[in-house]
Structure 1
C-alpha cells in the first residue's frame, strides 16, 4: 500500500472513530474493528477482540482497503478456521461498513485474501443478549466503546447524518 493511501486511510479511521463516539446511543456500543488500524493485515484483530462483549443492538464497523482484500462473512466455524471463502453469506466490498448485531449467535468475518486470513485477519463475534438496564454500567460501556466518550444527548447526531458524513469523507479521500 502506498504511503499516501495509508495516511488517507488513517484519516478515515480517525474520522470514523470520532463520529462513532458522537453517534453512540445510550446502551449501544459501536465497535470499530481493529481500533486505530481498522481491518488491516497489520492489525492484531484477535487481541483487539479479546475481552470485548458484543451484544444485540451493538454495531461493528469495518474500515478497510479493498486492495488488501475484501471482507467475507461466513456461515460456519469450519469455513472460518480454514479461511474458505468459496461460499460466503455476504461479501463486503466497499471499504466501509456498519454491521448491526441484531440477534444472538456467532458471526464469522474473514479477509477474502487467503494469506491475510491465514495470518489472522479474521474475527468471530459471539453476540450476547442485550444487557438489562440494571446491569448496564456507563463505566463498562466506556471501556468497550471505541472513540471518545458519548456527549450529552443534546449533541448526538442521527445515524443517517453520521453515515452521510462518513460516506462524504470516504469519497473526498478516495478522490484525492
Structure 2
C-alpha cells in the first residue's frame, strides 16, 4: 500500500467504525483490536489481552500489524493451532489492518504465519458465543487506545523507521473521539 493513501484508509476505517456504532442497536456489535495498544506484534501478550474477553456472533476482531514483517493465518484445527502448523491455513491476512467478522458460534484459531512467532505466543483462539452474550449493553465497545493502534498501523514511516504524523488521519481520529464523546453524552 502506498504511503499516500494510508491516511485515507485509516480515515475510512475509523469513519466506518463510528458510523456502525451510531447505526447499530444496543449490544449488537463489539470491535476488538487484538493486542490493544501494542496490536498484533511479537512483543505483545495476546493471551493476557484476550483473558476475560467475550467474543459474540456479530463482533469484529481487528488485527493491526506491520504487513512488511508479519501476516496472520487462520488455522483449521486445535491441533494445528497448538503445534503452530501454519502450512495449510484456511485464510491468510496480510494487509496490515484486517477486520474479521465473527459470523457463527464456534472456535476460530488465528496465528502468526511465522511458526517461530506462533510458538512464542503470537496466536489467538477465539471462542465465539451466541449473539448478545456481552457483559455490557453498549452499541459498540472500542477503547481509545485501540483506535490509536489502528491509526498507527497505517502511519507512514520514514527510512529510519520513525512514524511520520499524517494530518488527515490525526484530524479524523480527533474528530472521531469528539463524536463518540458527544454521542455518549447525548445518551
Matches within 5 A, 1:65-104: 65-104=66-105
Q: Please provide the CA RMSD for this pair.
A: 3.4
Q: Deviations over 1:122-163 (max 9, x none)?
A: 00000000017xx8633xx59x93314xxxxxxxxxxxxxxx
Matches within 5 A, 1:43-122: 43-122=44-123
- Unmatched segments (≥5 aa) in structure 2: 1-8, 145-149, 159-163, 165-187
Q: CA deviation at 1:115?
A: 1.2
Pick closer, same or farther for the CA change 1:46–1:90 going to 2, 3 Å: same
Matches within 5 A, 1:128-139: 128-131=129-132, 137-138=136-137
Aligned mates of 2:79, 2:106 — CA distance in 1:
16
Give the ranges of 4+ consecutive aligned residues of structure 1 lying more than 6 Å apart after TM superposition.
16-19
Pick closer, same or farther for the CA change 1:78–1:90 going to 2, 3 Å: same
Q: CA deviation at 1:17?
A: 7.8
Pick closer, same or farther for the CA change 1:121–1:99 going to 2, 3 Å: same
Pick closer, same or farther for the CA change 1:47–1:130 going to 2, 3 Å: same
Aligned mates of 1:48, 1:136 — CA distance in 2:
16
* Paired residue secondary structure (2:118): helix
Aligned mates of 1:40, 1:18 — CA distance in 2:
25
* Paired residue secondary structure (2:42): coil
Counterpart in 1 of 2:142? 146
Counterpart in 2 of 1:123? 124
Aligned mates of 1:84, 1:136 — CA distance in 2:
34
Does the Cα contact within 8 Å between 1:20 and 1:146 map onto a contact in 2? Answer: no
Q: CA deviation at 1:114?
A: 1.2
Q: Deviations over 1:2-29 (max 9, x none)?
A: xxxxxxxxxx99xx78985674343210
Aligned mates of 1:17, 1:32 — CA distance in 2:
12
Q: CA deviation at 1:93?
A: 1.1
TM-score, normalised to structure 1's length? 0.68
Aligned mates of 2:35, 2:123 — CA distance in 1:
10
